[in-house]
Amino acid sequence: MSVVTVRNLDMSVKRALRERAAGRGVSMEQEIRDVLTRDVNNDHRQRPKASLDEIMRLSRKPDQPLDLKQAQDEVWGYLYEGDRPR
């Protein structure tokens, strides 16, 4: 087994880990081991690999030219839709 020291951990994260550990009836150290183990073991399932066809599709020229003005307007509209009076 190895030892890892984590510095500069946000206090809210530490508090949440302590609460989760207490809720499960384990030490905070065990909770951290379980969280890291679960995350590392599940990492390969969360990131599907792209197929060659998907990669090649990214390099193809689009069927229609991109309207940059329209795209920019849509982005700004999305970003500021909460600021509009209703």
* Residue range 42-66, pLDDT digits in tens: 866 666 778 888 888 888 777 888 8
pLDDT of residue 82: 67
Domain contains 84: no
The pTM assigned to this predicted structure is 0.49
pLDDT of residue 45: 66
Asked if 35 contacts 26 with a C-beta cutoff of 8 angstroms, the reply is: no
Strands (E) across the chain are located at none
Domain contains 74: no
Q: 35-52: buried (b, 16+ CB within 10 Å) or exposed (e) per residue?
A: eeeeeeeeeeeeeeeeee
Domain contains 70: no
Per-residue pLDDT for 41 more than 90? no
pLDDT of residue 30: 94
Which structural domain range is residue 32 located in? 1-61
What is the per-residue pLDDT across 10-40, written as a single tens digit (0 to 9) for each?
999 999 999 999 999 999 999 999 999 988 8
> How many separate domains does the chain show?
1
